[in-house]
Structure 1
Amino acid sequence: MTLNSPVSAAARAFAERPALMLRAEDVRKTFTLHGQGGIGIDALAGVSLDVARGECVVLVGPSGAGKSTFLRCLYGNYLASGGSIAIRDDAAPTQHLEITGAQPHDVLRLRRNVVGYVSQFLRVIPRVSALDIVAAPLVSRGVDEEEARARAAALLERLNVPQRLWPLAPATFSGGEQQRVNIARGLIAQHRVLLLDEPTASLDAENREVVAGLIVEARERGAAIVGVFHDEDTRERVATRVLALRAPRVAEVEAA
C-alpha cells in the first residue's frame, strides 16, 4: 500500500475528520449485457461525495443519471465498476471499510451496525408479521425481543400503520402501507449512515410529512444521510445540501 493509494487516502480522511461517515470517489457503474454480446451500458458517471454526521445529501438529476444505482453501490448491492467507496467502521483498524473488495461478512456486519437502507419497495417475507419485520434489525443486534417489538409498535403507530395489521404478513397490504413498514424497518435501528431511495414515493401528503419528520430527527441525532426524493416539499425539508448527477453521455456508453 502506498501513501497515494485510495485506501490510504481514505484512512487519512477518516482519521483526520471524526465527523466523516462516508466517502465516495469517482464511483462508476457499467452493466454488461452478456445476452447481447457483452455490450456495456454506463449507468453511473464518476460521482464523488463526502458525507459527515448530521448531513442529508439529496441526489437530483434526470432519469437515467444513476441516482438509485449510486445508492445501491454505496450499500454494496451493486459492485462499483470503478472508483472507491468507504464507510466509517470503528471496529476496523483503519476506521473504515472499503466496500469494493470487502469480504461479505464484513459488509453484513456494516449493514447490521452502521448502514441502513430503505428502498421504494418492501421485500415481503412470507408468514412473518409486520411487527416482527420491523423489530428484526434490533433483534439481530441483541436487543431483547419484547423490547424490540415494543419499539417497533411505537414506530408503526407513529407511521399510521393500523394496529390490526401489525400481526399480519404485509403481502396483502397496500403499497403505501408496505412502504411505511419498510421505512419503519429501515429507521428503527438508528443507523449512523442512512441510504434512502424514494422512501415517500407511495405516500399521501400526511404520511410524507411524518416520514420527513423522522428523517429530520435522524439527521439531528447525527446520522449521515444520502437520499433520493422526487417530492419537492420533502426534499426541501430534509436536505442540508444537494448533489446533482448527470446521465452518462452517449459517447461514454459507446466507448464502453
Structure 2
Amino acid sequence: MTPDPSIARAFGERPALMLRAEDVRKTFTLHGQGGIGIEALAGVSLDVERGECVVLVGPSGAGKSTFLRCLYGNYLASGGSIAIRDDAALGQHLEITGAEPHDVLRLRRNVVGYVSQFLRVIPRVSTIDIVAAPLVSRGVDEDEARDRAAALLARLNVPQRLWPLAPATFSGGEQQRVNIARGLIAQHRVLLLDEPTASLDAENRAVVASLIVEARERGAAIVGVFHDEDTRGRVATRVLTLTAPHASASVTEMA
C-alpha cells in the first residue's frame, strides 16, 4: 500500500509522533438480521506522541474498546485511516487499513503491544513461558527472557508456585496480572491497554499504574481504557472523551 503523502510528511516532520488516527469509523453488519448495520464508532481522530498516555473515556457503547481494536488491527476500520510509526517501512509508518497481514504481525511483534481484559489461555504452556514468549519471538535468549518474566511476575505479585503452571485454573485477578506481564515485558513503543486493571484489587492496581507510568517515562506512546478513576488520574497525560456515534469526541489535557 502506498503511504498517504500527508501522513508520511507528519511522521517525517514530527519525530515524536507514534500513532495517528484520522476520522476512524466502524460499522458492524448483522448478517443474521437482514444485514442491519450498527455504527459502533464514528469519526474519531487522535495523534499520540512518545511519552503520552491518552485515556479513553465515555459511556458504555461509545466505542472505546472498538477503537483500541481498530488501532491494533483486530477490527478493520470501516473508514478513516490509522498509521503507526514503523521505521522499517516506506514513509516511516505503516497504515493499518489495507496493510498486508505479515506487516501487521511484524508491527505487533516489534512496535505495538496490546493488553485486553482477559488472558487467552494457552493450554499446557507454563505461566513463565507465556510471559517470556514476546521476548523470545524477538530473538532474546530463552534464559534471559525467563529471568525477565520472573522479575515482572514477582513485581505483579503472582506467586512463584504458579509460574510453572498453565494459568487456566488461576483466579481472574491472577490471569489478568499474567496478561499484563505478557503485554508489558517487551517494552513496545506503542501500548494499547483495554481495562487492564478491571479485576484487580487496590494494591495490584497501584503496581500496574506504576508500570504504566514507567513505560510512559521511557517514551512509550500509550492509549488505554481505565474505569478506575485513581488509576486514570495517575497514568493519563490527556483524556479523549468518546460519545455515541453521531456525536463528536473531545480531548482534555491533564495537569
Shift in Å, 1:144: 0.2
Q: Aligned partners of 2:90 and 2:27: how far apart in 1?
A: 31
For the Cα contact (< 8 Å) 1:131–1:149, is it kept in 2? yes
Q: Aligned partners of 1:233 and 1:149: how far apart in 2?
A: 32
Q: Aligned partners of 1:85 and 1:6: how far apart in 2?
A: 11
Residue aligning to 2:104 = 107
Aligned partner of 2:181 among 179, 184, 195: 184
Letter of the 2:42 counterpart: A
Shift in Å, 1:227: 0.1
Superposed, 1:49-128 pairs within 5 Å as 49-128=46-125
Superposed, 1:1-256 pairs within 5 Å as 7-249=4-246
For the Cα contact (< 8 Å) 1:156–1:181, is it kept in 2? yes
Q: Secondary structure at the match of 2:134?
A: helix
Shift in Å, 1:166: 0.2
Deviations 1:39-92 (A, max 9, x none): 100000110000000000000001000000000000000000000000000001
Q: Aligned partners of 2:5 and 2:65: how far apart in 1?
A: 28
For the Cα contact (< 8 Å) 2:156–2:204, is it kept in 1? yes
Letter of the 1:92 counterpart: A
Q: Aligned partners of 1:103 and 1:64: how far apart in 2?
A: 30
Letter of the 2:177 counterpart: R
Letter of the 1:141 counterpart: R
Q: Aligned partners of 2:202 and 2:59: how far apart in 1?
A: 24
Letter of the 1:125 counterpart: I
Shift in Å, 1:93: 2.0
Q: Aligned partners of 1:197 and 1:99: how far apart in 2?
A: 19
TM-score (normalizing by structure 1):
0.95
Q: Aligned partners of 1:46 and 1:108: how far apart in 2?
A: 26
| Number of residue pairs matched by the alignment | 247
Q: Secondary structure at the match of 1:21?
A: strand
Deviations 1:115-134 (A, max 9, x none): 00000000000000000000
Report sequence identity in percent: 91
Residue aligning to 2:251 = none
Shift in Å, 1:9: 1.1
Compared with structure 1, are the counterparts of its residues 6 and 106 closer, same or farther at alpha carbon in structure 2 (3 Å cutoff)? closer
Residue aligning to 2:252 = none
Q: Aligned partners of 2:220 and 2:21: how far apart in 1?
A: 17
For the Cα contact (< 8 Å) 1:6–1:84, is it kept in 2? no
Q: Aligned partners of 2:52 and 2:235: how far apart in 1?
A: 9
For the Cα contact (< 8 Å) 1:212–1:238, is it kept in 2? yes
What stretches of structure 2 of length at least 5 have no aligned partner? Answer: 248-255
Compared with structure 1, are the counterparts of its residues 168 and 34 closer, same or farther at alpha carbon in structure 2 (3 Å cutoff)? same
Shift in Å, 1:6: 7.7
Q: Aligned partners of 1:6 and 1:32: how far apart in 2?
A: 28
Q: Aligned partners of 1:108 and 1:6: how far apart in 2?
A: 18
Would you identify which runs of 4 or more consecutive aligned residues in structure 1 move more than 3 Å? none
TM-score (normalizing by structure 2):
0.95
